[in-house]
Amino acid sequence: MGNYTAPLRDMRFALYELADFKKLAGIPACADLAPELVDSVLDAAGEFCAEVLFPINRSGDEEGCTIENGVVRTPKGFPEAYKQFREGGWTALHCDPAFGGQGLPKVVSLLFEEMICSANISFGMYPGLSHGAYAALHKHGTEELKNRYLPKLVDGTWTGTMCLTEPHCGTDLGLIRTRAVPEADGTYKITGTKIFISAGEHDLAENIIHLVLAKLPDAPAGTRGISLFIVPKFLPTDDGRPGMRNAAVCASIEHKMGIKASSTCVMNFDGAQGWLVGEPHRGLSAMFTMMNEARLSVGIQGLGLAEISYQNAVAYAKDRRQGRALNGATEPDQPADSILVHPDVRRMLLTMRAYIEGCRGLATLVALEQDISQDHPDAATRQEADDFVALMTPIIKAFTSDIGWEATSIGMQVLGGHGYVREWGMEQYVRDAKIAQIYEGTNGVQALDLVGRKLPAHAGRYLRRFFHPVLAWIEANSENEALSEFVLPLSKAFGRLQQCTAEIARAGIANPFEAGAAATDYLRLFGLTALAYVWARSAEVALPKAEQDEFYRAKLATARFYMQKLLPQTGALASTIMAGGSTLRAFEDAAF
């Protein structure tokens, strides 16, 4: 049960009115990109997601994937939907035209990703992993490898995976045991077991291209000894067709809490033939190209699931009748008022809305800067944008996926008992949302990355890419009375963020444990402050238009709710951070 409609009006607000869409004109490939073209793509994307992907979401969850003799079957309707997806050109949206791509910017494909995640996140895993493999090969592969594999990944005939995790190691990839032995013909024999491999085996495409981390015989210890290899399921023939079966086999599929229509595989490589990608022992840096793409996408998974949960919670709240409004019946001719009149229901819905629209705005800002970081002709401009993306990647991944988990749980709560049963669909969104906090580096690891790597990097250069624009906006609007209700809360939260940043830097130098103890709270504080900046800027845009347009009135009202009801969390977080980590250190191990 339920429905999905792509939130195109708010997406266009984030793209054209909040983000500086015109900055893309500085990229030669986007110089002539017209909003009308982007709008037509988003319209078609919304229609495809609502009409093709959403109807098979619940059935896919109930049926799941099956495996027999190493062959994985996806649920009913998935192969047909993928065929439509591929033939519609959706696999090529943000890909290089030199390999058959459409060359649209990342910021456009990100909005499409959100729609896919709302409509059918399990389906989205298959093309999502393929694009990560495309990105790694496009940046690090030889011309021969790119010409052989990229056109097939771009048109969706072949799909891709990333094979990192092993049974004994996940985050600490320096412990991997998968081996790569060089052969006389320049290829390598790959042997080892990888687990949790999304889309590792399925029936949607004619070939699957695995990107596998492994160690050469002379590899140094730790992460410095990791190399990256491309290992196809079927060895391509000279004319580009799938040839002999390679020794890369799915041993089993995981039985999971959510994303059940996504095949999560244990992959065994038993002397499989592979080709080196990039330099020997430099595989981790190549794989990070794929992982950073994936981390932004995982944040969008949380956003997409929050959006679909919100839409159905609103529809239910308007329709469900229980009790009377506290100030008197709003519909006395009915046996009861809709639950939308109740303060707590309104609180829940506004909490979801404020987080969703704020995260969408922030993700759009980051994605646009990612386009600039990759394709702008000016090196200094690229560097500034890349610094901003590097800083914000762990925040988008962790904060937005946390919001996805919280929002889907709230959405289920709005429906009460009906939210807890399968037929309404809300509990699936909760189950599907949880994994986004776990894979591609748990959110705790993202927080450590933020405080341990991003904050001190280049003497705080990354931080300046966020701190300076926020401070400039606050100063520029400090005497704007009409915006004071947004400027002042942002200024207070930003002050707390600055104070906590300085304290973590000071304490972390003397004792790294202190920085680690504050990391998760600090990331949350940073995310809330970043959303406050998004909401303050959104209010600035909406204010002169609100009188004549309901959309902007709602935008202003949501901004006020965020500033008054959600942003005050930053005060408690700051207190927690400033308290230090002594209580964590003092607790005896034996007492756990």
d(CA 170, CA 176) in angstroms, rounded, equals: 9
The count of other CB atoms within 10 Å of the CB of residue 14 is 26
Tokens of 545: 């238009």
| Chain centre to alpha carbon of residue 463 | 21
Q: Are 307 and 118 in contact (CB under 8 A)?
A: yes
Q: What six digits make up the tokens of 277?
A: 């990608």
CA–CA separation, 508 and 581 (whole Å): 11
Calpha distance 84→37 (Å, rounded): 21
DSSP secondary structure string for all residues of 446-492? HHHHIIIIITTGGGGHHHHHHHHHHHHHHHHTTT-GGGHHHHHHHHH
Phi, psi of 189 (to 5 degrees): -100, 115
User: Reduced to 3 states, what is the DSSP secondary structure of residue 439?
Assistant: coil
Residue 87 appears among annotated catalytic residues? no
Which residue among the candidates 440, 503, 514, 540 is catalytic per the annotation? 440
Residue 419 φ/ψ, nearest 5 degrees: -70, -25
- Return the amino acid letter for 567: L
Task: Report residue 326: phi and psi, to 5°.
Answer: -65, -25
Distance of CA 352 to the CA centre of its chain: 17
For the annotated catalytic residues, the residue numbers are 440
